[in-house]
Amino acid sequence: MIPFNKPAVIGDEVDYVNELINNREKFSGDGLFTKKCSALIEDLYDVKKVLLTTSCTHALEMAAILLDIKEGDEVIMPSYTFVSTANAFVLRGAKIVFVDIRSDTMNIDETKIEQAITNKTKVIVPVHYAGVSCEMDTIMEIAEKYSLFVVEDAAQGVNSFYKEQALGTIGHLGCYSFHETKNYNCGEGGALLINEARFIERAEIIREKGTNRSKFFRGHVDKYGWVDIGSSYLPSEFNAAFLYGQLRNVTLINDDRLSSWNLYYESLKPLADNKVLELPTVSEFCGHNAHMFYIKVKNLEERSNLIEHLKTKEIGAVFHYIPLHSSEAGKKYGTFIGTDLATTVESERLLRLPLYYDITKEEVLNIVKEIKAYYSVENRGDQIERNYSSRR
Ligand SMILES: *Cc1c(COP(=O)(O)O)cnc(C)c1O
């Protein structure tokens, strides 16, 4: 069986977790390993301030609190995204305004954003799908023109770049995920990237249950208390220690994923050249992290058939998001502005193939072989089907 995902394990993680246990000083959050991870990310990607969180979902929730999102505010995002992108703002009472995506990158169509802006709009949330960057220059220009905030959902974009700038560091705030399905993981985890100094102090308070505890531990205040709203968004040191083992190996993991991604691309190119399927598009200004390898097939039916075929060959290929605007909660909390030209049709055609750290060359080539087999047999199948029906 080739599963869709295997969480990355490098081997060093256990050393750091052991170190934590042997030190026996601080197991709760904001200890040595939390600080090491934050410092490493700040250094690698040139970030003003990184706060580790319990998940990307929680980093998004912190962003919504930090930006004072309240009842009636509007937040613009693509409909083709994970529920947390929307939920974080709905929890503060915001209305979600969905706009269409680009059919090439599956990212928010930056040319459709402006028409969705009203005097209630507060935030634009670009989602860097598959670790491929949105058109950030245009998005930042629009945000500046209308005085809006930009929160990058860079859950899939850790170690991806847009014109040399790391994803998550371009908007006012950025959100990373260290969930087991992402490139670098600790089971469940995330980070809030703060790109403007004015947000730092309050973000620390929000992460510490609304208390000024961080300031207290630094000796800046002589007692700590409840000063704002907040929650428990600080991960345990166990998660941070494990994560540190992964972040120290960012290049190793990235190179490995990228070579599998490139192998898929080159091996499937003949099918794309013959217009049998489509391959992913990486935008011109993006250095990507090989988070995902997807193909696009003819339609929903063909996708279901191909998934079934691969399943019989013990290959775990999976589809992805059902557009949020067509979901039960999406209808209640959001509206789609403009015409859904790409979101629904493109999402129905997209199929993700297994891609994880240390998937072997043989496994990738085997998956490619089965996709090719499906298309040659399918053609013969059509033939048989046609002969059969004409006999009837
Ligand atoms: C994975 C993901 C999230 C949520 O991340 P968690 O760390 O699991 O909360 C949010 N947005 C996008 C686009 C994601 O892919």
Amino acid in position 62:
M
Fold agreement between 12-247 and 250-391: no
What pLDDT score does 283 carry? 87
Which among 236, 226, 288 is positioned nearest to 257, based on CA atoms?
A: 288
pLDDT digits (tens, 9 = 90+) for 5-44: 999 999 999 999 999 999 999 999 999 999 999 999 999 9
- Residue 174, pLDDT > 60, answer yes
* d(CA 292, ligand 1 centre) in Å: 14
- Residue 382, pLDDT > 90, answer no
CATH class entry, domain 250-391: alpha beta
What pLDDT score does 379 carry? 57
What distance in Å separates the CA atoms of residue 357 and residue 252, rounded to the nearest whole number?
A: 9
pLDDT digits (tens, 9 = 90+) for 296-353: 999 999 999 999 999 999 999 999 999 999 999 999 999 999 999 999 999 999 999 9
For residue 258, the cross-strand partners are: none
Residue pair 262/364 in contact by the 8 Å Cβ criterion: no
Beta strands in 167-241 (DSSP E): 173-177, 190-194
What distance in Å separates the CA atoms of residue 392 and residue 386, rounded to the nearest whole number?
A: 10
Closest atom of ligand 1 relative to the 178 alpha carbon:
7
pLDDT digits (tens, 9 = 90+) for 178-218: 999 999 999 999 999 999 999 999 999 999 999 999 888 88
What pLDDT score does 378 carry? 63
Q: Give the chain's end-to-end CA distance (angstroms, integer).
A: 40
What distance in Å separates the CA atoms of residue 367 and residue 260, rounded to the nearest whole number?
A: 12
pLDDT digits (tens, 9 = 90+) for 71-114: 999 999 999 999 999 999 999 999 999 999 999 999 999 999 99
What pLDDT score does 384 carry? 46
All structural domains of the chain with their residue ranges: 12-247, 250-391
CA-nearest residue for atom 6, ligand 1, is 56
Could you tell me the fold of the domain covering 12-247? Aspartate Aminotransferase; domain 2 (3.40.640)
Q: How many Cα atoms occupy the beta-carbon half-sphere of 93 within 13 Å?
A: 9
CA-nearest residue for atom 5, ligand 1, is 56
Which among 102, 95, 58 is positioned nearest to 78, based on CA atoms?
A: 102
Could you give the angle at the alpha carbon of 270 between the alpha carbons of 266 and 272, nearest 5°? 95
CA-nearest residue for atom 2, ligand 1, is 155
- Residue 392, pLDDT > 50, answer no
What distance in Å separates the CA atoms of residue 166 and residue 47, rounded to the nearest whole number?
A: 9
Where does the pLDDT of residue 270 fall: very low under 50, low under 70, confident under 90, or very high at 90 and above? very high
* d(CA 190, ligand 1 centre) in Å: 9
Which among 57, 39, 60 is positioned nearest to 48, based on CA atoms?
A: 39
Mean pLDDT score across all residues of the chain = 95
